[in-house]
Amino acid sequence: MRMTWQQAAHFDTQVDLLRRLANTSTRFGVGEVDGSPAIVDNRLPNGECVRVDGPAAPDLMRHLFHLNHYALLTLAGLLEAARDALKQR
């Protein structure tokens, strides 16, 4: 299934935010923003966060609680690679 340009732009924005979160610190908070699970770093301007949606969100957030800087950078790289693979289809 191909993404719309709006979905692709949102995906890219979220991956960029994830990379910025990973690059700012080895510590981040797993919390809730507007009732949705989120990865939050209060030191970023404007209270930026990466929101996690879907039925597996609670399980994913439990795992993210234990991830470190390098694991987040790897995840961002995998998401970017997946996005590039979708572009080539």
CA pair distance 86, 26, nearest whole angstrom: 30
Q: 21 or 87: whose pLDDT is higher?
A: 21
Domain boundaries, the chain: 5-87
The pLDDT of residue 42: 67
d(CA 61, CA 52): 8
The residue whose two tokens read 């970023």 is 44
Name the pTM for this structure: 0.49
Residue 25 in this model has a pLDDT that exceeds 60: no
For the chain, give percent helix, strand, coil, nearest 5. Answer: 55, 15, 30
Residue 63 binned pLDDT confidence (cut-offs 50, 70, 90): confident
Q: What pLDDT digit, counting tens, does each position of 38-57 carry?
A: 887 766 776 667 788 888 88
More confident residue, 81 or 44: 81
